[in-house]
Structure 1
Amino acid sequence: MTDRPRRPVRLPSAAFEVNEGGLDPAVTLRIAHDSARALVHRVRASDDPDLVERMVAFTDEHGLDTLAELWSRAGARTLPGVLWRLSLLRALIRSDPPGVALLFQRGSEVLATADPVIAGAEAPTGPDEIRVLADAVLRGVYVGDVAVAFERAAAFCRTAAAGAADLADDADAAADDTRATELTSRAARLAASARDFAACARLERAGSLD
């Protein structure tokens, strides 16, 4: 993690009102929805090839705080909510590439579904491959098919959840109760995220993700 100063981020004036607690919660959520829609549409409509890369790198540059102010309280099955959770998923992957790669690789070995292929990571999946996947899934929101990006995120989470559950069984067999409990909880969280991403993909395809 770098100690260099972060560049200031320009936000609409309404965002500062939100930060100060000056807006009704309903208005705050409306701003979250409007800003998420405007961001996605602006990037997708741009002819600037560097804009997508800058958006993918945004959380590395500024952290998640700026997004959190507007998007983190939105429902998981809304556009701002799924964008927030997608950025959070990428940040979590990048915070521990070896650990996440282990979950994904184990899940790839035990699953009998196409999820590892849909997620799109190269096999065998190591830390470098999992970092590439994290960037590719987020980049997919701004180029290509948005629903596909959410489907890839769902497939990733299902694969990693299966890996975490299988590793939990190993830990349980080795009488490592703490590790088994930790992995079981992680598997449950990943499975829940997978359901939310999959639901958002269906909503996006139906034209009703807001």
Structure 2
Amino acid sequence: MSEFKRPSLPGQELFEAQPGGGDPAERAAAGHRIANLLVRGPHTDDDQGMVDRVLHLADEEGLAVIAELWAPAAADTVAGALWRLYALRTWVCRQPAQAAREFAAGKNFAPVSEVLAGVIDPPGPDEVIALVDTVVRGIVSGDFDVTLDRAAAFANIVGVGRAHLEVEDTKSAARLVDMAKVLHRDAELERSGQLH
């Protein structure tokens, strides 16, 4: 992910305009609440109202506005997992040909991950984007652990592929493999009811 930089995130003024919007602790708490509502679903009318506002904001301003709240979250939280899914999706959408090339190079070295990731053979840029979108859409299906496992498998394959293609860029390949490990660990935490 050498070319991948933290996405430029518009909409800062929207959060600063909210009461307490500038307080980092309140922003972190809001990020965790939104992440859990999106993954776990609303339990009250107030929760449903929050989900509706968040989805409207995502439609109007883009998911980046919401993802900004997840960026500082710990890796072993729902918000941290959503940040990693968002970052992976953003990179794939910006570099689909590179993602497809690296996936194709890595799948021979990680055949179990290839099956779990579920990419059509051979993957082109459109297929890779479709896979990542399918994985991210799984967030609302109730199988968040499967979503995280599939994203982990994809990141692992791409990281392995990058290591084989870009010998000089082993750090970004290692970061992808590390992301895969974190996402897989989050899936295990989700299955055991410990991802909050």
TM-score range, shorter chain: 0.7 to 0.9
For residue 138 of structure 1, report the CA deviation from its aligned partner: 0.2
When residues 206 and 141 of structure 1 are mapped into structure 2, their CA distance, relative to the original with a 3 A threshold, is: same
Specify the code of the residue in structure 1 equivalent to 2:168: T
- Tell me, in whole angstroms, the C-alpha distance in 2 between the residues paired with 1:209 and 1:91: 23
Residues 116, 156 of structure 1: 8 Å contact kept: yes
Query: In the alignment, which residue of structure 2 is the partner of 1:34?
Result: 33
When residues 99 and 66 of structure 1 are mapped into structure 2, their CA distance, relative to the original with a 3 A threshold, is: same
* Percentage of matched positions with identical amino acids: 34
- Tell me, in whole angstroms, the C-alpha distance in 1 between the residues paired with 2:185 and 2:192: 11
Query: In the alignment, which residue of structure 1 is the partner of 2:172?
Result: 186
Question: Gaps (5+ residues) in structure 2?
Answer: 1-10, 43-50
Specify the code of the residue in structure 2 equivalent to 1:188: A
For residue 65 of structure 1, report the CA deviation from its aligned partner: 3.2
- Tell me, in whole angstroms, the C-alpha distance in 2 between the residues paired with 1:190 and 1:145: 23
Q: TM-score, normalised by structure 1?
A: 0.73
Residues 38, 140 of structure 2: 8 Å contact kept: no
Q: TM-score, normalised by structure 2?
A: 0.78
Residues 40, 142 of structure 2: 8 Å contact kept: no
- Tell me, in whole angstroms, the C-alpha distance in 1 between the residues paired with 2:17 and 2:190: 27
Superposition RMSD on alpha carbons, in Å?
A: 3.1
For residue 96 of structure 1, report the CA deviation from its aligned partner: 0.8
Is 1:100 matched with 2:86? no
For residue 71 of structure 1, report the CA deviation from its aligned partner: 1.2
Residues 59, 91 of structure 1: 8 Å contact kept: no
Bigger Rg over Cα? 1
Query: In the alignment, which residue of structure 1 is the partner of 2:155?
Result: 157
Query: In the alignment, which residue of structure 2 is the partner of 1:167?
Result: 165
- Tell me, in whole angstroms, the C-alpha distance in 2 between the residues paired with 1:66 and 1:32: 7
Partner SS state of residue 100, structure 1: helix
Partner SS state of residue 109, structure 1: coil
Question: Gaps (5+ residues) in structure 1?
Answer: 1-7, 44-50, 169-179
Specify the code of the residue in structure 2 equivalent to 1:149: T
- Tell me, in whole angstroms, the C-alpha distance in 2 between the residues paired with 1:145 and 1:156: 17
